[in-house]
Amino acid sequence: MAVNSMHFKFVVVGGGIAGVTCVEQLSSEFPSADVALITAASHIKAVANFKKVSHTLEEFDVEERPSSTLQEKFPNITVIQSAVRSLCTDTHTLQTEDGRSVGYKKLCICSGARPKLLTQDQPNVLGVRDTDSVQEFQKRLSSAKRILVVGNGGIALELVFEVGGCEVVWAVKDKAIGNTFFDAGAAQFLIPSLEAQRPARAAVCKRARYTTEEAPDGGGDQRRAGSGPTDTGSALGPDWHEGFLLRGAEESSQGVRVEYECEVQEIFTSLDHLRSPPPPESDYGCWPVYVQLTNEKIVGCDFIVSATGVVPNTDAFLLGNNFALAGDGGLRVDDHMRTSEPDVYAAGDVCSACWEPSPLWQQMRLWTQARQMGWFAGRSMAANVLTQPIELDFCFELFSHITKFFNYKVVILGKFNAQGLGVDHELLVRCTKGQEYVKVVLRGGKMVGAVLIGETDLEETFENLILNQMDLTPYKDELLNPNIDIEDYFD
Ligand code: FAD
């Protein structure tokens, strides 16, 4: 065998939360097997302080660690730090950028996803994905007076809230903010938080963070250039903005202006490039970049943050192989996390769950699901080798997510936005301004989803009610009555 040719029983690609969880699972099931983790980044992401909040809700911190810590804990893991250049599923071999050939018996691809940028070659359009790209964002922000944030998912929500000392124009394609997570009612509840004066702070980071020092050879600059769509760093996760002071050039908070129901039509660097010249009375100011929105408005700003979703990182694996891809570009996986290619599994942001899901679960490219999928892929690969049967894990029974938006605790359960229910549902809402927002989705009298914002203390009871599908028709009027202790009620 050539020096740069290696062979392992299990190979996992990607040092994000899915890949690391998968490789740890495999290594603990087969402590004497050869297991390799191939990852492009110098640091891995590890789950720390894992806490089960209820049957399905879980909370954890994420630590960025040198990959050597993985090898110290699991001596049978070899970490290869290089990007995968290509895969040949016929010969079960991967080629890495640094010229190695790595053979496998079973492979799990956990290469994550990258930001879907509005445009590739405009230096004034930034994506936010990993530590380096947040640092680049922070640097550009420090001299900015106005930025445009485009997108309506979790990243945009967190960004607009965290940025201070700079005017933020927020372009959302929907009628309400945060459409990925809430409905218009919840958005209405949160809007005052955007208007309130927010503290200037760089909160203490709960997670250990190892910074990649700028290399004397200019490697740091290369990394910054890589904060765009082809970067291979791991995605950030919960609390990603903690520890970063996100302040613009102005002394005071400049507020957020939301432009609803619009998208970016065109980006240009000079008003001379406008197709039809602006009316003489219009004054757009002098900015490095201008954006024409589909609502006809023109916004001049220092730079644009493109937070319009992600694209699964599949490029290195497709050529010459026969992977079935989902509509969103992810590798299709079945209920054993198997792709369409033999002996190749996938987990996390790179994959698309294509099994018949439980009526209360849907895939969302989130931290928790990356962990659950990575863990289940590891278990499933092990079961295959041991020729043992394995069933889809309970964590895929009910969608559940716990996070923080605008400093409020947010819990979302099941079909929280009545996804796929058409008109066949009923909503119950309780809202106390500045304190809590509770929404319940009922179908046929049974609870199928919920959004809980604030310290509601209802998550466990509601999770149980969703899981046991009790007919709540007789209790509907009392369900959100704040004077009734609902936990006792259903005890
Ligand atoms: P990643 O973490 O992206 O890891 C992919 C790994 O693959 C990396 O190590 C990379 O180096 C490696 N890789 C890629 N290509 C190759 C290659 N060709 N060869 C070798 N290695 C390769 N989720 C939440 O639940 N809550 C949040 O609050 C939240 N906030 C977020 C904020 C931001 C700014 C972003 C970008 C994402 C956020 N997410 C959040 C989403 C969450 O971070 C992702 O869902 C999760 O990290 C996906 O994990 P993963 O392991 O699948 O992929």
Q: Using one digit for the tens of pLDDT, what is the confidence trace for 399-434?
A: 999 988 888 999 999 999 898 888 888 999 999 989
Q: Is residue 151 lining ligand 1, measured as CB closer than 6 Å?
A: no
At residue 409, the pLDDT reads 93
CA of 242 relative to ligand 1 center, distance in Å: 17
Going by pLDDT thresholds of 50, 70 and 90, the confidence category of residue 208 is very low
Pairwise CA distance, residues 56 & 74, whole Å: 28
Provide the pLDDT for residue 16. Answer: 95
Q: What are the structure tokens assigned to 420, written together? A: 């796929």
CA angle 129, 140, 271 (to 5 degrees): 105
Residue 381 backbone phi and psi in degrees, to 5:
-65, -40
Q: What was the pLDDT predicted at 242?
A: 63
The length of the chain in residues reads: 491
Cα Rg of the chain, angstroms: 24
- Collapsed DSSP state (helix, strand, coil) of residue 304: strand
Predicted pLDDT at 327: 97
- pLDDT-derived band at 262, boundaries 50, 70, 90: very high
Q: Specify the pLDDT at position 9.
A: 97
pLDDT of residue 216: 34
CB of 47 shorter than 6 A to ligand 1 = no
Instruction: Kindly give the distance from the C-alpha atom of residue 410 to the centroid of ligand 1, in angstroms, as a whole number.
Output: 21
Helix (H) or strand (E) segment spanning residue 310: strand 310-312
pLDDT tens per residue across span 152-174:
988 888 888 888 889 999 999 99
Q: Which atom of ligand 1 is nearest to the CA of 130?
A: 36
Nearest CA to ligand 1 atom 34: 129
CA 341 – CA 456 distance, rounded (Å): 46
**How far, in Å, is the centroid of ligand 1 from the Cα of 460?**
28
Indicate the average pLDDT of the chain.
86
The atom of ligand 1 lying closest to the CA of 404 is: 28
Q: Is the CB of 154 under 6 A from ligand 1?
A: yes
**What is the CA(427)–ligand 1 centre distance, in A?**
34
Q: How confident is the model over 313-333, as a mean pLDDT?
A: 97
Could you give the CA distance from residue 316 to residue 346 in angstroms, rounded to a whole number? 14
Q: What is the pTM of this model?
A: 0.87
Residue type, 60: F
CA of 307 to the centre of ligand 1 (A): 14
- 295/241: higher pLDDT: 295
Where do runs of H (alpha helix) occur along 266-412? 315-318, 367-385
Q: Tell me, what amino acid is at 477?
A: D
| Statement: residue 210 has pLDDT above 70 | no
Answer yes or no: is the C-beta of 58 below 6 A from any ligand 1 atom.
no
Residue 127 CB less than 6 A away from ligand 1: no
Q: Using a 6 Å cutoff on CB, does residue 20 contact ligand 1?
A: no
What is the enclosing helix (H) or strand (E) of 141? helix 131-141
- CA 232–ligand 1 middle distance (angstroms): 9
Average pLDDT estimate for 133-141: 88
Q: Is 367 in the pocket of ligand 1 (CB under 6 A)?
A: yes
Mean pLDDT of the 227-239 span:
56
Any ligand 1 atom below 6 A from CB of 134: no
Residue 355: pLDDT band by 50, 70, 90 thresholds?
A: very high
**Do residues 294 and 265 lie in contact, with contact meaning Cβ atoms separated by under 8 Å?**
yes
Which of 330, 323, 402, 416 shows the shortest CA–CA distance to 368? 402
Residue 270's pLDDT band, with cuts at 50, 70 and 90, is confident
What pLDDT does residue 209 have?
A: 38
Average pLDDT in the 297-318 region?
94
Average pLDDT, stretch 193-216?
46
Work out the average pLDDT over 77-105: 97
> What confidence category does residue 214 fall into, taking pLDDT thresholds of 50, 70 and 90?
very low
Query: What's the pLDDT at 277?
Result: 64
Nearest CA to ligand 1 atom 28: 238
The residue whose CA has the least distance to atom 33 of ligand 1 is: 236
Q: What is the largest CA-CA distance in the chain?
A: 75
More confident residue, 3 or 441: 441
- Judge if the beta carbon of residue 312 lies within 6 A of ligand 1: no
DSSP-derived secondary structure for 167-217: EEEEE-SSSSTTTTT--HHHHHHHHHHHHSPPPP--PPPSS-----PPPTT
Helix, strand or coil for residue 401?
A: strand
pLDDT band, residue 3 (cuts 50/70/90):
low
